[in-house]
Amino acid sequence: MAGETTNINIRMDKSLKEKAESLLSELGMNMTTAFNIFLRQAVRQGKIPFEISLNTPKIITDIEARKELQEAFKAMQEDSVINGTDNLTMDEIDAEIAAYRREKREKGASQ
């Protein structure tokens, strides 16, 4: 991977982890990739990339949850086409971010 990496330990309900891993596997990704996507979207948007509310959540079925996740994933794929990043690997995305940050630091140091 481009750039320095770090490890994160997260505690969660075992059943939730197993269900998430199963779903993510069907979507062709692992937990690390899913968390990276979530965090990249949060950083990009400057917020949690979905609504969080004190309202009582609606109970949804696994099928509904899978459909919502697939729709969100499709929207991210469509955004990547619009942004011209649809063919980039995670390493290439990391390299672009690192280059942008380097350029930003260099411009800041020269001013």
Within-domain flag for 59: yes
Percentage above 70 pLDDT, the chain: 95
φ, ψ (nearest 5 deg) of residue 75: -65, -40
Arithmetic mean of pLDDT over the chain: 86
In this predicted structure, the answer to whether residue 1 has a pLDDT above a threshold of 60 is: no
Q: What is the pLDDT of residues 48-97, one digit of tens each?
A: 998 887 777 677 788 888 888 899 988 888 888 887 778 888 888 888 88
Within-domain flag for 57: yes
- The position carrying tokens 């086409």 is 81
Within-domain flag for 1: no
Contacts of 82 (CB under 8 A, 6+ apart): none
| C-alpha–C-alpha distance, residues 52 and 16, integer Å | 19
* 72 contacts 34 by C-beta, under 8 angstroms: no
In this predicted structure, the answer to whether residue 20 has a pLDDT above a threshold of 60 is: yes
The tally of domains found in the chain comes to 1
